[in-house]
Structure 1
Amino acid sequence: MDVITPPEVPPAPESPSRKLSWWRVFVAISIFLGAVGYTVKTHAPSLDGDTALTTPVTEPWFAAYVDVTSTPLFPFEQLGATSTSQVVLSFLVAARDNPCLPTWGTHYTADEAATALDLDRRLARLRQQGGQIALSFGGALNQELATHCTDEEQLYQAYRQVIERYAVDTIDLDLERDNLTNREANERRARVIARLQADYRNTNQRLAVWLTLPVTPQGLTEEGTQTVAHFLEQQVDLAGVNIMTMDYGASRLPEQSMLDASKSAVIETRRQLGILYAQRELRLSEVTLARKMGATPMIGQNDIVEEVFTKEDAEAFNTFAQEQGLGRLSMWSANRDIPCGENYVDTRVVSDACSGVKSSKGTFGGALSQGFGGTLSESAGLVTVADGKQPETIIDDPKVSPYQIWQENGAYPKGTKVVWHGNVYEAKWWTKKDLPDNPVLQAWETPWQLVGPVLPGEKPIVQPTLPPGIYPRWSGQVIYEAGSRVLFEGIPFQAKWWNQGESPAASSASPDSSPWIALSQAEIVEILKNRK
């Protein structure tokens, strides 16, 4: 194989001057208040809570993914003169016949791409006009380098040669399918990336590392949280976690829009990140956790026919991302940010070259990039430091709590709201003895959904309950047909099928196998309404 001789890494290009933005004003205020947990340092950080003098963070940034080998070739170099001049080039993967050789989509080595795609010249043209690039490794279709390159020295050299060939200071690890589920590969990947980042920082160079991971409206999958944990354990200073807000499938509730599902995914992932960093004894503020979040929708028609991310979704999601303080937005992909031609018969079939929805060229990039005017080179210098505090235990006062205060021995039907440690939670299903603020990583591990904090000046709101005697008390001696209703510890339950001697108490631990289901708060309200 050809040996790629890495050139010296040039200093990051200076970003063009910009007018003072609302974000810069916000950052200045945040720094004054000591609220932001980023700093620019020249040494490799420790993720055990080291502290340093913070300096202003950069603005959040937008960069669209570009599929380098997709046909027809997308002229990304023309973006250099536009407002969306930053791109994430994808995907660098292992060669089919050499797992330690980086290639573009298995089709071209770096040298071959320079000839066949004129890639080096096009990159130079993009940069000549002020554009910047990041490199993305992995993707859904091929093998990311670490998945089968088991020689860690060769793996280290493979990453480094590509980084220096293209003179980048930001890399993106897009981990899906086997690239994500292969635990041994993930541990190997984390060790090598940790060494690589430390080597760069020890020589006063930058290397920002983003993990791009699949997500559901309930947050990162178990494999996703394990991957983040592997990287943190190896002392990788993650620039952030970029979630793929797309292709939700069965994880998206029937009543959830693509926009609502994506918002939920962001909120749940941020909660998970807070737990993962706290497990490493590095407490980060909500502001910093949000800045370590990125999101990438698949614009237009998604791979799943029923899922379409519209222009209106893009505009609303951008507003939400700004309000939440996300550090990054991207999209899949710049290649697709154009309407399909008249000869493209079925727009429900995903195309690599058009969005499948009616929109003008560049519509999605323009909508998603609003307020995300930062640059890759500026953000690459950020280093994580602890800026969060040990949460104080709030003693709940029933006089100023809008809902009942959670009790260990209380039983709560689906939809019931409670107050615990200054926050309002809503039961997702019938529950008893489950702490509302139990720091679980997966949403399915807890029956409680955080709604938000108790607000100043709130007064108790009484939630309707059924009167005693409306249904008979459950008895282990009675035979119950499907549809029968009983009261168990004051909570109404309905039989899903014939049963005898099976307590409704088991429905919390094993809802699928239990013959009983608790009536929801909404059903209780409806019953009371019909009694009037």
Structure 2
Amino acid sequence: MRSVRTLLTAALLGAGLAVAASPTAHAANTPLPAHVFSPYFEAYSSDNPATLSSSSGAKYLSMAFVQAATKGSCTAYWNGSTSQPISSSTFGSQIATIQANGGDVVPSFGGYTADNTGTEIADSCTNVSSIAAAYESVVTTYGVTRIDLDTEDNSLTNSAGIDRRNKAIAQVESWAASTGHTVQFSYTLPTTTNGLASSGLAVLQNAVQNNARVDVVNIMTFDYYDGATHHMGTDAENAATGLEGQLASLYPAKSAAQLWNMVGITMMPGIDDYGAAETTTVADATQVESWATSKGLAELSFWALQRDNGGCPGTGGSDTCSGISQGTWDFSHAMEPFTSGGGGTTQNDFSLSLSPASASVQQGGSATATVSTAVTSGSAQSVSLSASGAPSGVSLALSPTSVTAGGSSTLTATVGASVPAGSYPIKVTGSAASGSHTATYTLTVTTSGGGGGGGSLVNGGFESGSLSPWTCQSGSAVVSSPVHSGSHALLVVPSASTTGECDQTLTLSPNHAYTLTGWVQGPYAYIGVTGGASASTWSSGSSWNQLTVHFTTGSNGTVTVFVHGWYGQGDVNADDFSVA
């Protein structure tokens, strides 16, 4: 029999009213446990999330979904409904109740419908800052500390959306570090039984390229649609093991424990959308919970809380029942021990980022970058900072050399006059009791001498603010955004009849091997040399990409360095050229 207090609490929850916080209450803006069970809640239903959280015992919920109302919009709503804005009037009291009872929610952006209709916010909105603002809005409105990005279907092939999403993640993480917020990001991705398919892996590769920290990679261990015979519990473990190996390649500086603590598993109770051949039992959930605890995974989840009952035996893919014979909340009870047994005591951890992440410096010059840290779980701890990888003649200094997580330091790179031109990766490491994190600072050294028409390449980063000594076809110009590093870059503007080419003629040592490097973004971006040598390369993409061209000068040493786009194919940006 339930007590009077229990009945009163249930009544308040059913009304969407907050109850007084217990001593174990999870305050807003408190990081989630390092190992958490967080089943999905179908926010598009009429159910009250606080009521189901209390009834099921699932203290943490992933709430699905947040998306734009129409394709092309930059405004996010719950369920894409304009009547459900991101505001305290929508789910605000229910989320506060869950937090007061010691739990929290993870708003989830995307989902199959949004990913299929172009209303996933990063697919819909072409402005990175507006996407970042949508993420920041759920953090500040509801006091949450993790955002889930359910990325599947067409969103896995929308390269522009993938790039915008990861740039927005990096922007939010910078905002969080500067404002004292704690924000984690999880990617929820489809999987094979051996790990991510190439499309999902490409999402994470792009995140690394954009310096976007991904805290959890949550794989959907159901709907395989491969026609194979499945043991869903073992298949989930095999998929997660494959993912851990893929993460090791993406994040070589992380320990095995840190990699496992990036892995999440989402199961689907009962019969999934494929049919009876893919049936997950309560025993499977119990098996995976025990295995995940032993490995130290970050998250266990399932789709969805409203399915955790046996109301429709034999039915597959229902939103409201599992399709197998089970008791109500059997899957929740099987997985709930993961939060406490797997690490209910939050482990301390932090993040490390650089702004800017690269710079172009002439010989004899210097550059600075801000090294930012942030608390990603647990409490702030002391972080010792170091920098390594500089070539001979480049000195590195950090001030201060130790910060409390949430603080920042300044990295100064001073380049000697004789340092060879080229790009050098500098590794910045933060070490704390919980482990270490690294970030890479790309230092491009350019030569300081010479003028247009001879000597070394000049104004390779366009930091003078003018084209000289480059000569360009009509329309091309120096701009302040976008840039790869520094304050300026080159905008190459092709037309139907021109490529927008920009040139600089150099007199180098005769019969000598050189390497031309430059950073470009845009469709059909070419760099190369003509004259005393002939070589070129090109790329096509919406993010910055470094191109390298090897060439050997002729008897007089004179070459012309060029960069251009292609006829009628759109503008190209270029930055940080050097010849070494």
Interval of TM-score (by shorter of Structure 1 and Structure 2): 0.5 to 0.7
Amino acid at match of 1:371: F
Amino acid at match of 1:287: A
How far residue 76 of structure 1 moved from its aligned partner, in angstroms, is: 3.7
Preserved contact between residue 146 and residue 185 of structure 2 (Cα < 8 Å): yes
Are 1:73 and 2:43 an aligned pair?
Answer: no
Within 5 Å, which residues of 2 pair with 1:121-200?
Answer: 121-142=93-114, 143-200=119-176
Are 1:227 and 2:203 an aligned pair?
Answer: yes
Amino acid at match of 2:113: L
Amino acid at match of 1:289: L
Preserved contact between residue 169 and residue 212 of structure 2 (Cα < 8 Å): yes
Distance in 1 (CA, whole Å) between partners of 2:300 and 2:82 is 28
| Structure 2: runs of 5+ lacking an equivalent | 1-20, 27-31, 349-374, 378-404, 406-428, 438-580
How far residue 130 of structure 1 moved from its aligned partner, in angstroms, is: 2.2
In structure 2, do the counterparts of structure 1 residues 105 and 170 end up closer, same or farther at CA, with 3 Å as the change threshold?
same
Normalised by the length of structure 1, the TM-score is 0.57
Are 1:237 and 2:227 an aligned pair?
Answer: no
In structure 2, do the counterparts of structure 1 residues 385 and 372 end up closer, same or farther at CA, with 3 Å as the change threshold?
farther
Q: Which of 209, 228, 246 is matched with 1:272 structurally?
A: 246
Q: Which one has a larger percent helix, Structure 1 or Structure 2?
A: 1
How far residue 124 of structure 1 moved from its aligned partner, in angstroms, is: 2.4
Number of the residue aligned with 2:255: 285
Within 5 Å, which residues of 2 pair with 1:236-315?
Answer: 236-250=212-226, 253-254=228-229, 256-278=230-252, 283-305=253-275, 306-315=277-286
In structure 2, do the counterparts of structure 1 residues 98 and 147 end up closer, same or farther at CA, with 3 Å as the change threshold?
closer
The SS at the match of 1:216 is: coil
Preserved contact between residue 174 and residue 212 of structure 1 (Cα < 8 Å): yes
Distance in 2 (CA, whole Å) between partners of 1:302 and 1:133 is 24
Amino acid at match of 2:274: I
How far residue 388 of structure 1 moved from its aligned partner, in angstroms, is: 8.8
Q: Which of 78, 82, 93 is matched with 1:104 structurally?
A: 78
In structure 2, do the counterparts of structure 1 residues 194 and 113 end up closer, same or farther at CA, with 3 Å as the change threshold?
closer
Preserved contact between residue 102 and residue 109 of structure 1 (Cα < 8 Å): no
User: How many residues end up aligned between the 2 structures?
Assistant: 328
Question: Deviations along 1:329-384, whole A, 9 cap, x unmatched?
Answer: 111111111121xxx5x633321111111111111011012232256987772499
Are 1:64 and 2:64 an aligned pair?
Answer: no
Preserved contact between residue 299 and residue 364 of structure 1 (Cα < 8 Å): yes
Preserved contact between residue 220 and residue 267 of structure 2 (Cα < 8 Å): yes
Q: Which one has a larger percent strand, Structure 1 or Structure 2?
A: 2
Distance in 2 (CA, whole Å) between partners of 1:240 and 1:212 is 8
Distance in 1 (CA, whole Å) between partners of 2:194 and 2:58 is 30
Distance in 1 (CA, whole Å) between partners of 2:211 and 2:132 is 16
| Structure 1: runs of 5+ lacking an equivalent | 1-12, 19-56, 390-532
In structure 2, do the counterparts of structure 1 residues 159 and 17 end up closer, same or farther at CA, with 3 Å as the change threshold?
closer
Within 5 Å, which residues of 2 pair with 1:84-483?
Answer: 84-96=58-70, 99-111=73-85, 119-142=91-114, 143-250=119-226, 253-254=228-229, 256-278=230-252, 283-305=253-275, 306-340=277-311, 344=312, 347-373=314-340, 374=343, 381-382=376-377
In structure 2, do the counterparts of structure 1 residues 352 and 17 end up closer, same or farther at CA, with 3 Å as the change threshold?
closer
RMSD: 3.1
Preserved contact between residue 240 and residue 294 of structure 1 (Cα < 8 Å): yes
Normalised by the length of structure 2, the TM-score is 0.52
How far residue 166 of structure 1 moved from its aligned partner, in angstroms, is: 1.7
Distance in 1 (CA, whole Å) between partners of 2:279 and 2:82 is 32
In structure 2, do the counterparts of structure 1 residues 378 and 325 end up closer, same or farther at CA, with 3 Å as the change threshold?
closer
The SS at the match of 1:330 is: strand
Distance in 1 (CA, whole Å) between partners of 2:169 and 2:68 is 16
Preserved contact between residue 33 and residue 345 of structure 2 (Cα < 8 Å): no
How far residue 112 of structure 1 moved from its aligned partner, in angstroms, is: 8.4
Task: Tell which has more relative contact order, 1 or 2 (C-alpha 8 A, sep 6+).
Answer: 1
The SS at the match of 1:213 is: strand
How far residue 78 of structure 1 moved from its aligned partner, in angstroms, is: 4.3
